[in-house]
Structure 1
Amino acid sequence: MDLRTLRYFIAVLEAGSLSRAAGSLYVAQPALTAQIKKLEAELGTQLFDRSHAGVTPTPAGMQLYEDARRLLSDAEAVRERIQRLPQGPEGSVTVAAPFLLASLLLGPVLARLKHSHPRIRVFVLDDLSLMVRKAMLDRRADVGILVDTPQLDNLRCTPLAREAIFVCGHDADGTVAPLLRPAPRGRAAGGHPEIDFAQAAQLPLVLQSRRFSIRQNVEEAASALGVALNVVHEHDSARVIRSLYQCGAGFTFTPACSLADSPHQDQQGWIVARVVRPLLPRAYTLATAADRVIDAPTQVVIDALVQETTRLVRSGAWQAELPV
């Protein structure tokens, strides 16, 4: 298994077709096919499912794709080290983050690091909060942002931020607006009105399944109050949920970090209200392996995550609270 073969493999996976990959690589398709078959034989597993429409990666293929990208990145770093003297920390760092928070936080962090520490390569695993925790426990990530996990065996955990859960949706007939109370004072409230959880639970709801942490929190609050959730649509896809509530099919519970992806609150009939009685807090924790010394590149990434979190909260771009 050499670097050229790994580059061929990545090109085929990303193109979704051996013929398209061969064209982009300027390699004859039979030669490329032979390289992929040789790689599969060497690893003892099938990397692609083949059909008339092209190729799709198997689970083994997806795992190799993640590892191969990191290997090639490290190889490039080796080449750069030989060609020029080091200028600051360098290396590869993998960050695992829940996907809703990743869209708000990781873009600015990666842009900052590209400018300040170009020799540090950051890989992001964005997934369900449960899978982020698993990535840390399986040591597939160097830094993790965990949800509602203040401590966990074998991990070193530090509080990052705490936010509230909101209800969003289109109040087409104007029946929800009278249920809202005026926004309280304070930066964390963000100028949004409030709605009691018991009333929010009776709205027509579009929610993800119970595999998701937000749904679990909502279910626990409903059980504690003895109320039933009025779920009219249930889908695992966050994009489907977003499309449903944006088209007026119902309301959804969403954390403060994702409010920027919602329609503007000034849009006529659009409701964005903080859920209270009870509050549904959502806490984020930075985690690293307890038995590993934090190296210089990882520390740089951790510092960037903390600094960007602080900036977003203090500027009001993220309606959250920083740890005391």
Structure 2
Amino acid sequence: MDLRSLRYFIAVIEAGSLSRAAGSLYIAQPALTAQIKKLESELGAQLLERSHAGVTPTQPGVQLYQDARRLLSDAAAMRERIQRLPQGPEGSVTIAVPFLLSSLLMGPLLAHLKDTHPRIRVFVLDDLSLMVKKAMLDRRADIGILVDTPHVEGLACRPFARESMYFCGHDASGRVRALLQSPSASTPSARPDIDFAAAAEQPLVLQSRRYSIRQQVEDAAAQRGTALNIVHEHDSARVIRSLYACGAGFTFTPACAMGDTPAIGTDWLVARVVNPQMTRAYTLATAPGRDGDAGGDGVMLAVVQALTEVAQRLVSTGRWDAEVADDPGPGRDNHQPD
């Protein structure tokens, strides 16, 4: 197994097809196929599932893809270290982030780290909030941003941010707008408020119960003894967005996703949910052994500080309606010795 074979394998996974990968690598497909078979033979595992639609990785294939990307990145870093003296922290960090927060936070974070710590390589796993937690527990990520999960056994956790939840959708008739209230004094905002019970009566488009936002909406409904008027239920966030964007109903969305809502028109309604006031809390979790920057390389501390700085800048510039914790230091370590 050599680096070239790993590069070929990564190209196949990312292309989803041996023929497309061969074209991008400028090699013959039979030669590429032979390289993949050689890898499978050396590792003693099937790496790809082949079908008429292309190829998909098996579980060993997914693991090899993740490890190979990190290995090639480390090889490139090794080349740079030999060519010039290192300046500042250097190393690799994998961050697991929920889908919705990733759209807001990861671009500014990666750009910031590129400018301030160019020798830190960051890999991002964006997934459902439940899978972010699993990635941390499986040790596939070094830093994770958890949703409404203040503590996890085996992880060092600290508060990161808390954001508001909003109710939004097209209100062509103006009927829902008549239900809005002026912002409460305790939570001043340019947005009006809407009582949860009034929001729950409107036609709703929501994801299924396995998603954290739906679970929070269900909890609020149970707390108020209110029934939910759900007219569309789909797992796909893109389908949900398409539905409320075309006026098929209203939805609940966290502040971090407000940038993904349609362009505001005369009938576009956005209101903060109150009674109960719905918020979404984020916890910054780090893996045992890395939360204190074992070895003193400073990589983890630099990334955690950058996360906090970028989040605070998003809040101060009005791009994110949230409160960000100030302290980026070590969190509460819930890890118990074996």
TM-score range, shorter chain: over 0.9
Give SS of 1:33's match: helix
How far apart are 1:58 and its partner, in Å? Answer: 2.8
Give the equivalent residue in structure 2 for 1:130.
Answer: 130
Give the equivalent residue in structure 1 for 2:336.
Answer: none
Residue 269 in structure 1 maps to residue 267 in structure 2: yes
Aligned residues: 322
Give the equivalent residue in structure 2 for 1:27.
Answer: 27
Give the equivalent residue in structure 1 for 2:251.
Answer: 252
How far apart are 1:175 and its partner, in Å? Answer: 1.3
Q: Distance in 2 between matches of 1:190 and 1:35?
A: 59
Maintained 8 Å contact 1:148/1:282? yes
> In structure 1, what residue type is equivalent to 2:26?
Y
Give the equivalent residue in structure 1 for 2:334.
Answer: none
Maintained 8 Å contact 1:145/1:286? yes
- Equivalent residue runs for 1:311-322 within 5 Å: 311-322=313-324
How far apart are 1:119 and its partner, in Å? Answer: 0.9
Q: Distance in 2 between matches of 1:250 and 1:159?
A: 34
How far apart are 1:315 and its partner, in Å? Answer: 1.9
Maintained 8 Å contact 2:97/2:144? yes
- Of stretches 310-319 and 272-281 in structure 1, the one that deviates more from structure 2 is 310-319
Deviations 1:91-129 (A, max 9, x none): 111111111111111110100111111111100111111
How far apart are 1:27 and its partner, in Å? Answer: 1.9
Q: What is the aligned counterpart of 1:303 among 305, 308, 313?
A: 305
Maintained 8 Å contact 2:308/2:325? no
How far apart are 1:185 and its partner, in Å? Answer: 5.5
Q: Distance in 2 between matches of 1:300 and 1:15?
A: 33
Q: Distance in 1 between matches of 2:49 and 2:150?
A: 41
Q: Distance in 2 between matches of 1:218 and 1:321?
A: 21
> In structure 2, what residue type is equivalent to 1:248?
G
Give the equivalent residue in structure 1 for 2:209.
Answer: 210
Give the equivalent residue in structure 2 for 1:143.
Answer: 143
Give the equivalent residue in structure 1 for 2:173.
Answer: 173
Deviations 1:159-205 (A, max 9, x none): 1111111111111222111111123467x643111111111111111
How far apart are 1:13 and its partner, in Å? Answer: 1.6
> In structure 2, what residue type is equivalent to 1:60?
P
Maintained 8 Å contact 1:96/1:141? yes
Deviations 1:29-69 (A, max 9, x none): 21111111111222233222222332222333233222211
Give SS of 1:321's match: strand
Please give the TM-score of this superposition, normalised by the length of structure 1.
0.95
Please give the TM-score of this superposition, normalised by the length of structure 2.
0.91
- Of stretches 127-136 and 291-300 in structure 1, the one that deviates more from structure 2 is 291-300
> In structure 2, what residue type is equivalent to 1:227?
T
Give the equivalent residue in structure 1 for 2:218.
Answer: 219
Maintained 8 Å contact 1:190/1:316? no
How far apart are 1:11 and its partner, in Å? Answer: 1.1
How far apart are 1:290 and its partner, in Å? Answer: 3.8
Give the equivalent residue in structure 1 for 2:62.
Answer: 62
> In structure 2, what residue type is equivalent to 1:296?
G
Q: List gaps (5 residues or longer) in structure 2.
A: 327-338
Q: List gaps (5 residues or longer) in structure 1.
A: none
> In structure 1, what residue type is equivalent to 2:211?
F
- Equivalent residue runs for 1:78-117 within 5 Å: 78-117=78-117
How far apart are 1:82 and its partner, in Å? Answer: 1.1
Give SS of 1:164's match: strand
What is the RMSD of the two structures over their aligned residues, measured on CA atoms? 1.6
Maintained 8 Å contact 1:154/1:291? no
Give the equivalent residue in structure 1 for 2:330.
Answer: none
How far apart are 1:210 and its partner, in Å? Answer: 0.8
Change (3 A) 1:73 1:277: same
